[in-house]
Amino acid sequence: MNATINYAELVYALRPEIALTLGLLLALGYDMAFGRRMSDCARRGVAVLIGIVTLASAVFQTLHTNVPPVGHAAYWFHGAFVYDTLAHGVRLGVFGLSALTLLLIAGSIPHSALRTPHFKHPAEYVAIQLLATMGFSLMAVSNNLLIAFLGFELASLSLYVMAGFDKTSRASAEASLKYFLFGGMAAAFMLFGFSLIYGMTGTIVLPEIARALAVQGPSPLLLVALVMVLVGFGYKAAAAPFHQWAPDVYQGAPAPAAALIASASKLAGFAFFARLLFSGLGTVSGDAINFGGPAGWIMAVIIISAASMLLGNIAALAQTNARRLIAYSAIAHAGIMLLGVIAVRAEGAGPLFYYALTYGIATIGVFGVFAAIERTAPCQRISDLAGLWKRSPFLALVLFVCVLSLAGIPPLAGFFGKFYLFAAALYLNGLMSPAGWLAFLAIAMSAVGLYYYLVILKAALVTNATAGTSASTEKIRVPLGTVIALATSAALTIALGIWPDVVLGLFK
């Protein structure tokens, strides 16, 4: 490696991250200087405004970065960073998803009669979320195992804190602790796998790893490394059987934090995972087209994907807690995204990116509705949604659109995401391949998922809130920031289903 360090190139590569760093310092500095003189509402509004402006600045920096043509990539700083259409799209996606979750903060403040508001330190929360977003952005452009691990852990440590940010809730503290313990173990597995790969190849740059493994071929040590990496990522992505933390975190974390965990972290994580497997480990992938072909990581991914879809959908059927139901459905969606990782070989990263992005948008909408309901009454059990169409027609409409998108109902974005992803998997060799069988299982499990999604909509749109139910009959006043976030989520879910080429056109 050339010993010359080009700092100008490094600054150019990390302009969005630099903008995020300056923004979080501004949020903390302004709050320290003026926050104590302001009301809680004004303090929170200024912190969110600084966060939104910071994310807008990061988007501006990203849009003014030269994007190579589809199929080509630019490499910066001795190959540590890669920039292509996938990195460009993921950066823009995580910045947008992070902005939507920031707008949910106002809607997640419970009524004072319910319990003490838990966002008394909004500047700190905004700063931590910007740190998490910085980690997601690093994951998007990582072409180096060390940079990727730093991105993963910067995002993970921030999310652990965000999950436990509600100091008045024991469930939030429990969620944070479980997330931290499982996440720390996942990081150990992943780092050990990375170290083994480095020991075998002598490099941490993905294309150089691929060239070294092409010469060496499969080995028992490589098998151990692949298992460690898959286990580590399985925990991070909440894929079965590494999903144990997800239901408790989705249930106990503040709604904006849960929304970020379910959306932006998945988009960035699966994008890097696809890059790692194909750019770095593609020569030992195995065969997804023929049964009995060469063994590799593809068969392991297929098994994890199938287990995630089966466990997630079947366990969701038994849930009475709305947040835990969404958590188990997220496990099932993680299985579908793993199918999208396999389909990268056939159609590139477009189907995976589109699916992860639209899933994240719809999930933010669902958690935004939960946050708004919590302003007047608890919103944990599915029965707490009863009578929502009377209490707030706007929230009921947003929940209707977002839940049906998660279920894959046309013409919403979730339907087209599944259709395009399943078609890409079947394109490999139809049903006469492991990927084809997995796509058929995903289609069957989508029918199972439709049932429990309709249970949520039945409670919100059909069941009336009465004295005998746990739901409140009080009208819900939705803050302006939450209205903007929810309206944007619902509008994007509809628009991207009607005009999917707005996103997929990036990859053509």
464-473: pLDDT as tens digits: 766 545 556 6
Quick check: 420 pLDDT over 90? yes
Task: Say if residue 351 is preceded by a cis peptide, omega within 30 of 0.
Answer: no
> 165's torsion region: left (phi>0), alpha (psi -120 to 50) or beta?
alpha
Per-residue pLDDT of 240-253, as tens digits, reads 899 989 999 999 99
pLDDT (0 to 100) of residue 113: 36
The answer to whether residue 2 sits within a structural domain is: no
**Type and span of the H or E element at 347:** helix 322-347
Look at residue 94 and tell me if it is in a domain: yes
- Whether 483 shows a pLDDT value over 50: the answer reads yes
What does the pLDDT read at residue 284?
86
pLDDT digits (tens, 9 = 90+) for 354-367: 999 999 999 999 99
Residue 363 lies in a domain: yes
Distance CA 186, CA 188 (A): 5
Identify the pLDDT of residue 399. 96
Q: Is it the case that residue 108 has pLDDT exceeding 60? A: no
Whether residue 335 contacts residue 308, with contact meaning beta carbons closer than 8 Å, is answered with yes
Q: Among 5-9, 99-103, 299-303, 380-384, name the one with the lowest average pLDDT.
A: 5-9
Mean pLDDT of the 161-181 span:
91
What's residue 348's pLDDT?
Answer: 85
Distance separating alpha carbons of residues 418 and 352, to the nearest angstrom? 9
Share of residues in the chain with pLDDT > 90 (%): 68
Backbone phi and psi for residue 385, each to the nearest 5 degrees, phi listed first: -85, -5
Look at residue 40 in the predicted model and tell me its pLDDT: 79
Asked if residue 484 belongs to a domain, the reply is: yes
Q: Name the band, by pLDDT with cuts 50, 70 and 90, for residue 288.
A: low
Residue 477 confidence (pLDDT) above 70: yes
- How big is the CA angle at 392 (ends 390 and 394), to the nearest 5 degrees? 125
Note the pLDDT of residue 67.
Answer: 87
Phi and psi at residue 475, to the nearest 5°: -60, 145
Neighbours of 442 (CB within 10 A): 24
Q: Under a CB-based contact definition with an 8 Å cutoff, are residues 76 and 65 in contact?
A: no
Q: What is the mean pLDDT of the chain?
A: 89
Is residue 380 in a domain?
Answer: yes
What is the span of the domain harbouring residue 79? 7-507
Residue 100 has pLDDT above 60, yes or no: yes
Count of domains forming the chain: 1
Residue 60 · residue 42 · CB < 8 Å: no
Report the pLDDT averaged over residues 233-238.
91
pLDDT for residue 442: 94
Asked whether residue 1 is domain-assigned, the answer is no
Higher pLDDT, 217 or 343: 343
Classify strands 74-76 and 81-83 as parallel, antiparallel or unpaired. antiparallel
Instruction: Report d(CA 59, CA 157) in Å as an integer.
Output: 23
Domain-located, residue 222? yes
Which pLDDT does position 114 carry in this prediction? 40
pLDDT (average), residues 55-60:
96
**Average pLDDT score over residue span 417-428:** 90
* Tokens of residue 122, six digits: 């909004």
Question: Is 367 part of a structural domain of the chain?
Answer: yes
Range 49-73 average pLDDT? 92
Q: What is the pLDDT of residue 106?
A: 67
